[in-house]
Amino acid sequence: MAPKFQGVDFYDVDSLLSEEERAVRDTVRAWVDDNLIPVIGEHYLEGHFPKQLVPQMAELGLFGANLPEAYGCAGLNNVAYGLIMQELERGDSGVRSFASVQGALAMYPIYAFGSDEQKRRWLPKMASGEVIGCFGLTEPDYGSNPAGMITMAKETKDGWVLNGAKMWITNGSTAQLAIVWAKTGTVDDVNSIRGFIVPTNTKGFSAKDQKGKLSLRASDTSELVLQDVCVSKDAVLPESGGLKSPLLCLTQARYGIAWGAVGAAMACYDEAVSYAKTRVMFGHPIGGFQLQQARLAEMLTEITKAQLLCVQLGRLKDQGKATPQQVSLAKRNNVSIATDVARETRRLLGANGILAEYQAMRHLANLESVYTYEGTHDIHTLILGQEITGLSAFN
């Protein structure tokens, strides 16, 4: 049996965590070691999401874990939630993405913008994994610029009729429920954007898997087409309004990604260290060579910085003080350094680094998606640029 993951903790970051936070982390860590790590390589190669793990993840309470117990969720704080994302992504970014979408992008909007009736109807079933959700914001021609979306919702006497297409939708073809964002006014009216709960078996709704991915292969990514999809009046999320509503969801998800990326980086670093100590070349373990030591020192430094960013961001979030711009900084930094750590690990492993038997190249390929989704690295750069200067580079 493979040795259990022992974590990477050079600065005693554990001492910044409470007993419950550590207990949550340890539970998810053990579950990932026992159930995800043994199967992920094969699922990745075959291009399948490990669907069989969903009931176990639900049983542990991993979906919407920072939402209240009243809706069947675990009611954790944001640091514990982040640690869940860290450990899941230590296994695979695709599996973390599944949990992120379910919790932060499908359950959260219902929690934040839904009616009491919508919350009671959907959240407990989503926490228990009975209903899987997806989040439809991005469109084929509107990625970094969601304000330009052309999916429209027209109010009729019985409800709403939705028309449009959404792309790059994680969980799209597995989901029973889609949170679809559409304009309810004219196509130029950004303030008319509202969220709709659309059961995926509604007539006119179709989801098609996006084929040929070289990244996030253990995750379902789909294109959604909505053609005269009729939903009832109570499908609209009553408190949603304008682009800020979906962006608020993205802030939740990005927060989890900042933690998740650290998990992927820790997995790679752990692999790099163990390989460097055992792989012998020129009669010595390669870890004794200066070039590899420089690689490892750089990795450990960046991981340590990223861990500290996450803990402080989580504490701010728990105090209600975290800003979207702070979340942007953490997502931007942590995904970027995790990608670097994965790439350097891949290289340190030499030819072995290209094999699925090792984790580094899988994480590297995954992180290229994570770098691009939920606000690309570049867009987060511009968000920070605007925050610093007060001048927007978007317009």
Q: What is the helix, strand, coil percentage profile of the chain, to 5?
A: 55, 15, 30
Q: In the complex, what is the shortest distance from the CB of residue 85 to other proteins, in angstroms, rounded to a whole number?
A: 13
Nearest residue to 334 via CA among 255, 387, 270, 273: 255
Nearest-angstrom CA–CA distance, 7 and 298: 17
Q: Give residues 83-112 in contact with other proteins (rule: CB under 8 A).
A: 84
69 in contact with other proteins (CB under 8 A):
yes
4 in contact with other proteins (CB under 8 A):
yes
Part in contact with other proteins (CB under 8 A); list of ranges 19-27, 46-54, 286-294, 322-330? 19-27
59 in contact with other proteins (CB under 8 A):
yes
Q: In the complex, what is the shortest distance from the CB of residue 256 to other proteins, in angstroms, rounded to a whole number?
A: 15
Nearest-angstrom CA–CA distance, 336 and 372: 10
Beta bridge partners of 61: none
Nearest residue to 153 via CA among 127, 189, 109, 117: 189
294 in contact with other proteins (CB under 8 A):
no
Contacts of 361 (CB under 8 A, 6+ apart): 342, 346, 353, 354, 355
Distances (CA, A) of 269 to 142, 205, 260, 361, 365: 36, 43, 14, 12, 16
Part in contact with other proteins (CB under 8 A); list of ranges 21-29, 112-120, 233-241, 373-381? 21-29
61 in contact with other proteins (CB under 8 A):
yes
Q: Which of 13, 17, 39, 60 is the binder for other proteins (CB under 8 A)?
A: 60
Part in contact with other proteins (CB under 8 A); list of ranges 24-32, 182-190, 256-264, 335-343? 24-32
CA contacts within 13 A on the Cβ side of 265: 29
Active site residue 42: no
Part in contact with other proteins (CB under 8 A); list of ranges 74-82, 210-218, 233-241, 341-349? 74-82
Nearest residue to 181 via CA among 251, 169, 173: 169
Our CB check for other proteins shows the closer of 41 and 285 to be 285
Residues assigned a catalytic role: 374
Residues that bind other proteins (CB under 8 A): 3-4, 6, 19-20, 23-24, 27, 30-31, 59-62, 65, 69, 74-76, 80, 84
